[in-house]
Amino acid sequence: MVDHSMQSSPRNSRRWLFGLFVLLVIAGLCWKFWPTGAAQNEAPAGRTSKTGMMRPGFGGSTAPIPVRVAPVVQGEFPVYYKALGTVTALNTINVRSRVGGELVKIAFEEGQMVKAGDLLAEIDPRSYQNALLQAQGTLLQNQAQLKNAQVDLERYRGLYEQDSIAKQTLDTAAALVMQYQGTVKTNQGAVDDAKLNLEFTKIRAPIAGRVGLRQLDVGNLVAANDTTALAVITQTQPINVAFTLPENSLQTVLARYRTGNKLPVQAWDRGDVKLQATGVLQSLDNQIDVTTGTLKFKARFDNQDQVLFPNQFVNVRLLADTLKNVVLAPSAAIQFGNNGTFVYALDGDKKAKIRPLVIGDTDGENTVIKEGLAAGDRVVLEGTDRLKDGSDIEVVNDSADVPTSPTEHLQGKPAAKGEGSPANAGKAQKAGA
């Protein structure tokens, strides 16, 4: 009987040795062709791969950080107080008729600028002309009676001197003259009133200003002092702007206002982008609003170019003060952290150091520096995201050369002379070999 277990044992051993040999061959090939760390580092430090990711290399994390800088200067700083204001007309007149009748004429165009006394409209004057004639006729009648009574009085005085009439007759004649004099005065008042009513049939502008949209058309019957105005005139030259300031901002403004200084006021458009007009502070209220803690102010503008309209909303900037010889830094360079306000200031030309600051007023573009900087210092304006205290920097002039994120390098910056060239790549391969 043949022992099969003894025959299969050498066969299994050969299979095991063959498999081990195959594994050794595969391991040798992997060792020979697998990229080594030196090969991976052949690319120059700071160069990027085709995917745009930073390749690890010599100095990849220690290369200077590109930044833009700006100087710190010394000069004047205007302190403006900002508020939301409402344009108000200096005078607003609702033009109404003072007599009744049919509207027969409109003498203005809507939106037209008019002067005081310009004709705006006309009421049918015929009934008022007739009333004037009647009053004048009555006056003439009573004037004739007065003249006759005066003649009689003179005659009675002569007769009384001759002792031809009684004293009572003379007194009666004198009283009659006085009666007719009173009647004549009354008639004269009626004539003047009729003339005035006739004049009121011509509706004229009481002030200079801009006429609004008309409310009545020709042919309408108009009543004296009607509730519906014929038109509205607003005086827009000059014009006022009303605004409020909080009570904690009043000390500087009131101190300058009470000394007689004219405080300049600017009116900017609703988007606070365009300066529309410049005026001066005109007046202020006599009490603070307890509900808002603000005081009302009024500024006056010449408005020669008619850019301001009544009830228009504007952004007001009141020049409260001008600081002299103060240190000014760009507001974009100022950083805010857990330890307070700071900037990255240049220490020489190659390093950036953190400088703690004490800041004052700002206008959005520049900020007053009370402590921490001096005129002539340079601060980092762009590229602060990658900086830390003592970082190496490279000053550039173009914003395009500054990374837009902490992980971005100068991908768009041209390579240094010879860097990345085929010849240098070949030298690197030979050196690696």
Between CA 100 and CA 432 the distance in angstroms is 110
Whether 132 and 195 have beta carbons less than 8 Å apart is answered as yes
159 vs 155: CA distance, rounded Å: 6
What is the spatial distance between Cα 121 and Cα 75, in angstroms, rounded to a whole number?
Answer: 59
Q: Are 171 and 156 spatial neighbours (Cβ–Cβ below 8 Å)?
A: no
CA atoms within a 13 Å half-sphere pointing along the CA-CB vector of 2? 3
Could you tell me the CA-to-CA distances from 64 to 275, 388, 393 in Å, in that order? Answer: 43, 12, 5
Residue pair 209/113 in contact by the 8 Å Cβ criterion: yes
Euclidean distance between CA atoms 307 and 236, whole angstroms: 10
Per residue in 114-134, pLDDT (tens digit) is: 999 999 999 999 999 999 999
In sequence order, what E strands does 191-350 have? 202-204, 209-211, 221-222, 231-246, 264-268, 275-284, 294-301, 313-330, 335-337, 340-347
Q: What is residue 374's predicted lDDT score, i.e. its pLDDT?
A: 92
pLDDT score at 23: 82
Max CA distance (Å), the chain: 204
How far does CA 10 lie from the centroid of its chain?
99
CA 246 to chain centre: 18
Question: Each residue of 269-293: pLDDT tens digit?
Answer: 999 999 999 999 999 999 999 999 9
Q: What's the DSSP call for residue 403?
A: -
- Residue 38 to residue 44: CA distance in whole angstroms: 12
| Strand ranges (E), 96-196 | 101-106, 113-114, 119-123
- Using the predicted structure, report yes or no on whether residue 149 has a pLDDT greater than 80: yes
Mean pLDDT of 296-322: 93
- Is residue 332 within 8 Å of residue 82, measured between CB atoms? no
Tokens for 329, please give them: 């830094």
Q: What is the three-class DSSP state of 416?
A: coil
The topology (CATH level 3) of 93-222 is OB fold (Dihydrolipoamide Acetyltransferase, E2P) (2.40.50)
pLDDT of 41 > 70? The answer is: no
HSE (side-chain half, CA atoms, 13 Å) at 104: 10
Report the alpha-carbon distance of residue 266 to residue 279 in Å, rounded: 6
Tell me if residue 165 falls in helix, strand or coil. coil
Position 180, amino acid: Y
| pLDDT over 90 at 101, yes or no | yes
Does residue 409 contact residue 54 with C-beta atoms inside 8 Å?
Answer: yes
Can you read off the two tokens belonging to residue 314? Answer: 């504007």
The model's pLDDT over 154-196, given as tens digits with 9 standing for 90+, comes to 998 888 888 888 889 989 999 999 999 999 999 999 999 999 9
Q: Please give the mean pLDDT across all residues of the chain.
A: 83
Residue 96: DSSP 8-state: -
β 391-395/351-356 pair status: antiparallel
**What CATH number labels 80-89+235-323?**
2.40.30.170
By three-state DSSP, how is residue 194 classified? helix
Answer yes or no: is pLDDT of 428 > 70: no
Q: Please, is 88 exposed, middle or buried when counting C-beta atoms within 10 Å of its C-beta (0-12, 13-18, 19+)?
A: middle
Contact 110, 354 (CB under 8 A): no
Q: Where in the chain is the domain with CATH 2.40.420.20?
A: 65-77+325-401
Confidence of residue 5 (pLDDT cuts 50, 70, 90): very low
- What predicted TM-score, i.e. pTM, was given to this entire model? 0.63
Contact 215, 222 (CB under 8 A): no
Residue ranges matching CATH 2.40.30.170 in the chain:
80-89+235-323
Report how far Cα 225 is from the mean position of its chain's Cα atoms.
40
CA distances from 433 to 150, 298, 342, 428 (A): 146, 84, 51, 8
| Assigned CATH for 65-77+325-401 | 2.40.420.20
| Portions of the chain given CATH number 2.40.50.100 | 93-222
- Please give the pLDDT value at position 400: 65
